[in-house]
Structure 1
């Protein structure tokens, strides 16, 4: 299992503890030529949180995450369903921002003092919930913990770790998600935080899922393994989705492609998938232009 999530309960079923190793997924999503270390880290953390949240969803539920920076056009997106299908991407403005070419800019500086989190939860049966909170920490992981504490009144702690090599390529991505269940003492959260702080190796050592599961069960009192499962990058794009993009071109440009027998190439800005439209397909499309 290349990317996986482990679900456990601890402290006599009072605490939910989820662990994710999504290294290969984050590499696939973030290791692109047009992203510097700052953007890779920002997107990687948001994707990791989506992976962890997938572990608390049920049936057909979906959650979409949006990190809004102080600049209204610079945003980070991620979404997930209960099956662990994950997407994540940056707005074009953020990819083309001057910050993308600068070194020594922090995530806090990127988010700025007016950043906020927006969470859209699709619970099924036409039930949509939207929550919005500010970002007082400017580091994403603590800000999403803040979201759960404020918007959903659920004490939550998230700890993420993304490791880069000397070429600023991601080589490890892991995270832990802790929530107190109804009736649990708030003091349990302090114990869990202390244990995680003293056992950082869980987030830094590249080990097999079986070893990680064993380590997790030994960290917290009364730990109980619930299940493990896969998380995977799934864009969901298709050629049909790009027909609308062709209609954004002028009729003259489309006619020119037909007359010159040139195909048109479209590229998904989420997964990089390429879709081609032949002169015949363009000609048929022009009939309804």
Structure 2
């Protein structure tokens, strides 16, 4: 199991802390795209936050996250469910921005001063909770702590560690989510935050991934691991899913393709998988 969350209880069971190892999943989602480090970081953080939130879900609950930048066409999405199925993607408008434009932006500059978070939680029985908050920190991670405080009145702390190699590829992704349980003193969140910040070297050590399960005990004395929760990237795309995109092409293009015996290839923006439609399949579609 390469991608998982350790669910723990700490401080005399007054706080739940989730420790996430999702390196392989973030590599799969981010490294196969020709995007800048800024977009990889923004997408990786959003997906990682969503992954941690998935550990709070029960039954058939689902959560859809949308990080909206000041530019209304620049959006980052993450969808998660209670089974640990995760997917994340970037809006076409943002994905198609010139690399030179995005390369010169930090995550904070990408979000801008009018960014906001939108979270839709399907809690079953045709009931959906929607929460929206602004992004005063503009770094995504701290903004989700702010979201939980403002929208759900729950003191929550997030931390996400992403490490790149010299080729600008993500080689490590880990995260922590801490949430106070009813009756816990608010000061515990500050204590957990301080301990996490003081131990960034431990959390960012990509040479010691096999000992990730020891990290909770290295950081906190009074802690109990209660469950290991698997998570996995699941796009859910299929060849049938992309037939409507072929319908969106004009008839002349389709006719020219099958008469010229040319295939049409469509690439999924979420997972990068390529689907090829043969001349015969295109001909059948037109007829």
The aligned residue for residue 171 of structure 2 is: 171
Secondary structure of residue in 2 paired with 1:17: strand
| 1:227-242 correspondence to structure 2 within 5 Å | 227-242=227-242
CA 1:223/1:128 → structure 2, altered by over 3 Å: closer, same or farther?
A: same
The aligned residue for residue 7 of structure 1 is: 7
Is 1:184–2:184 an aligned residue pair?
yes
The question of whether the paired residues in 2 share the 8 Å contact of 1:36 and 1:101 is answered with: no
The aligned residue for residue 48 of structure 2 is: 48
CA–CA distance in 2 between the matches of 1:89 and 1:102? 16
Quote how far apart the aligned CAs of 1:228 are.
0.8
When the two chains are superposed, the root-mean-square deviation of aligned CA atoms in Å is 1.7
Normalised by the size of structure 1, how large is the TM-score? Answer: 0.93
Secondary structure of residue in 2 paired with 1:94: helix
Structure 2: gaps spanning 5 or more residues: none
The aligned residue for residue 220 of structure 2 is: 220
CA–CA distance in 1 between the matches of 2:190 and 2:91? 36
Mean CA deviation greater in 149-158 or 266-275: 266-275
Secondary structure of residue in 2 paired with 1:137: coil
Quote how far apart the aligned CAs of 1:215 are.
3.0
Query: How big is each residue's C-alpha offset from its partner over 1:216-264, in whole Å with a ceiling of 9 and x where there is no partner?
Result: 0353353121111321111100011111111101122222222223222
The aligned residue for residue 23 of structure 1 is: 23
Query: How big is each residue's C-alpha offset from its partner over 1:89-137, in whole Å with a ceiling of 9 and x where there is no partner?
Result: 1112112224654545211111000000011111122111111100000
CA 1:218/1:167 → structure 2, altered by over 3 Å: closer, same or farther?
A: closer
Is 1:201–2:201 an aligned residue pair?
yes
The aligned residue for residue 79 of structure 1 is: 79
The question of whether the paired residues in 1 share the 8 Å contact of 2:107 and 2:138 is answered with: yes
Quote how far apart the aligned CAs of 1:279 are.
2.6
CA 1:51/1:34 → structure 2, altered by over 3 Å: closer, same or farther?
A: same
The aligned residue for residue 275 of structure 2 is: 275
Secondary structure of residue in 1 paired with 2:188: helix
CA 1:100/1:235 → structure 2, altered by over 3 Å: closer, same or farther?
A: farther
The question of whether the paired residues in 2 share the 8 Å contact of 1:35 and 1:95 is answered with: yes
CA–CA distance in 2 between the matches of 1:100 and 1:226? 46
Mean CA deviation greater in 225-234 or 93-102: 93-102
The aligned residue for residue 36 of structure 2 is: 36
CA–CA distance in 2 between the matches of 1:167 and 1:279? 39
The aligned residue for residue 60 of structure 2 is: 60
CA–CA distance in 1 between the matches of 2:218 and 2:98? 46
Shift >6 Å, 4+ stretches: none
Structure 1: gaps spanning 5 or more residues: none
The aligned residue for residue 286 of structure 2 is: 286
The aligned residue for residue 253 of structure 1 is: 253
The aligned length equals: 286
Quote how far apart the aligned CAs of 1:202 are.
3.6
